[in-house]
Amino acid sequence: MICFKRINDSYGQRIGDEVLQSVASILERSSREGDTIARIGGDEFILLLPAISSAEEAVDIADRIIQETAFPLHHNGNDIHITLSIGLAIFPDNGESKEQLIRNADIAVCNSKSTSRNNICLYDSSLQNNNSNKIFTENLIRNAINNEQIEINYQPQINLDSGKLHAVEALVRIKSADRGLILPGEFIETAEESNLINELGDCILENILQDAKNWHAQGVNVQIGINISAVQLAMDGFADYLISKIRDHNLRLNIFEIEITENVLIQNMEMTLANIIKLTNHGIKIAIDDFGTGYSSLSYLDQLPLNTLKLDKSFIKKIRGAGDDNTIIPAVRNVSSGLRLNFIAEGVERKTQHDYLKSLGPCIIAQGFYYGRPINSQTMLVFIKNYDSRKFN
């Protein structure tokens, strides 16, 4: 399904589930006796056709499905228009194993979205997958979860007033034998789209909480920032789940700060707000991450129970020296101060950028390679124990 995420965001998860059921019914009506239908991802289905005489017959069935979805679906008083993209792979011409057939059908799907007038594409060897090899990424995520290849790195945040360590941010990586550490930008979106985000998020959280518990046993109780997916935060009961997980590890709720992006606030706003309020009522802090690159409406800043504003690193990147004339950074810092929010400048990589932030006056926290690169939990524990606040004061 094309743009299924938009349906979920616009109408809610319940309506989204009903739309998926309607699509499954359409596939069932369009199939024949002996065909097999399976849902393999959040918005992806596979139709196995074991008894076809030619590729043209498979195309005819795909065309019948497309025609069935030309009419809007009626759900809860709404007319919802859906669009399907269909990729076809034929045994044995397009693959002799199920893995090859699924991979090549996925490549055909990706090409049908961009090159086919009727959203149907039959695989051939000349096709190139110009998208993100979604199936490979899904397998990467599943393998990482099942084989303990999820790694959490931590990066320090420094209070520039005192030079003291303010907090650390937890940053997820996938360990790959072929590619080393894979950053979240390469797999989080796929996890959200394929319904793997809950399983992945649970694995990430378990690792972070176990690290926090180990640090606590060593006498370290530093604040930890945790990035939460917009999909998770918009789920009914997410706040209860998170609170319960933290308590299961005998940790204090108020040492955690949840980091969300601005765009989270325009997706299933009602449930997102309910979760945010419940979390803050229990002492968990909320930070807006990458501020200035997304929704960027100032109206929500004084309406939500926020604790921290994190300015996107793109603004710091432009700073070359302490005397630079920049209006955005001091303006956002002043807004944060006026609203009594912590202000964190991300992406500080050079001393000149550090000196510039220091020149703006008090109430600034900084994060970036200049203060420390992301490191694993054991190395971070040593960093915290040996940290000298005079280094950046």
- Per residue, the 3-state secondary structure of 291-307, as one string, reads ECCCCCCHHHCCCCCCC
**Residue 46 sits in the same domain as residue 75:** yes
The answer to whether residue 145 sits within a structural domain is: no
Q: What is the pLDDT of residues 118-159, one digit of tens each?
A: 588 899 887 765 454 666 788 889 889 988 999 999 999 999
The answer to whether residue 213 sits within a structural domain is: yes
Which of 6, 55, 57, 53 shows the shortest CA–CA distance to 31? 57
**Residue 45 sits in the same domain as residue 182:** no
**Residue 119 sits in the same domain as residue 242:** no
C-alpha 344/C-alpha 337 separation (Å) is 11
What residues contact residue 196 under an 8 Å CB cut-off, 6+ apart? 138, 141, 142, 145, 190
- Residue 132's pLDDT is what? 45
DSSP string, 322-347: TT---SHHHHHHHHHHHTT-EEEE--
Long-range contact set of residues 181-189: C-beta below 8 Å, sequence gap at least 24: 181/151, 181/153, 182/140, 184/227, 186/137, 187/137, 187/140, 187/141, 188/229, 189/132
C-alpha 323/C-alpha 160 separation (Å) is 18
- Per residue, the 3-state secondary structure of 59-100, as one string, reads HHHHHHHHHHCCCCEEECCEEECCECCEEECCCCCCCCCHHH
Helix (H) or strand (E) holding 175: strand 165-176
Can you give the CATH number for the domain in which 268 is found?
3.20.20.450
Give the number of C-alpha atoms closer than 13 A to the C-alpha of residue 202, restricted to the C-beta side.
Answer: 10
Please give the DSSP secondary-structure letter assigned to residue 369: T
The answer to whether residue 142 sits within a structural domain is: no
Domain count, the chain: 2
Domain that holds residue 116: 4-136
**Residue 220 sits in the same domain as residue 73:** no
The answer to whether residue 354 sits within a structural domain is: yes
**Residue 130 sits in the same domain as residue 166:** no
The answer to whether residue 319 sits within a structural domain is: yes
pLDDT in tens, the chain (393 residues): 876 777 876 778 888 889 999 999 999 998 888 999 999 877 889 999 998 889 999 999 998 898 888 788 888 887 888 888 899 999 999 999 988 898 888 888 877 765 544 588 899 887 765 454 666 788 889 889 988 999 999 999 999 999 999 999 999 999 988 888 999 998 998 888 777 899 999 999 999 999 999 999 999 999 999 999 988 998 889 999 999 999 999 999 999 999 998 777 666 678 889 999 999 999 999 999 988 876 556 777 877 899 999 999 999 998 987 677 788 899 999 999 999 999 999 999 999 999 999 999 888 999 999 999 999 999 999 999 999 999 887
- Residue 117's pLDDT is what? 47
The answer to whether residue 141 sits within a structural domain is: no
Give the bridge partners for 289, in sequence order: 261
**Residue 124 sits in the same domain as residue 193:** no
**Residue 154 sits in the same domain as residue 197:** yes
The answer to whether residue 249 sits within a structural domain is: yes
Question: Which tokens hold the place of 193?
Answer: 């789209």
The last residue of a domain, from among 114, 136, 158: 136
- Residue 98's pLDDT is what? 87
What 3-state class would DSSP assign to 247?
helix
The last residue of a domain, from among 108, 136, 164: 136
Which of 39, 48, 2 shows the shortest CA–CA distance to 21? 39
**Residue 246 sits in the same domain as residue 361:** yes
C-alpha 390/C-alpha 393 separation (Å) is 5
Q: How far is CA 364 from CA 18, 157, 241, 355, in A?
A: 48, 10, 32, 12
Q: How far is CA 195 from CA 206, 229, 232, in A?
A: 18, 12, 10
- Residue 118's pLDDT is what? 57
C-alpha 369/C-alpha 155 separation (Å) is 8
Q: What is the pLDDT of residues 185-206, one digit of tens each?
A: 989 988 887 778 999 999 999 9
Can you give the CATH number for the domain in which 55 is found?
3.30.70.270
**Residue 174 sits in the same domain as residue 259:** yes
Amino acid at 40: I
Q: Which residues of 338-367 are buried (b: 16+ CB within 10 A; e: fewer)?
A: eeebbbbbbbbebeebbebbbebeebbbbb
The answer to whether residue 44 sits within a structural domain is: yes
Q: What are phi and psi of 371, to 5 degrees?
A: -95, -25
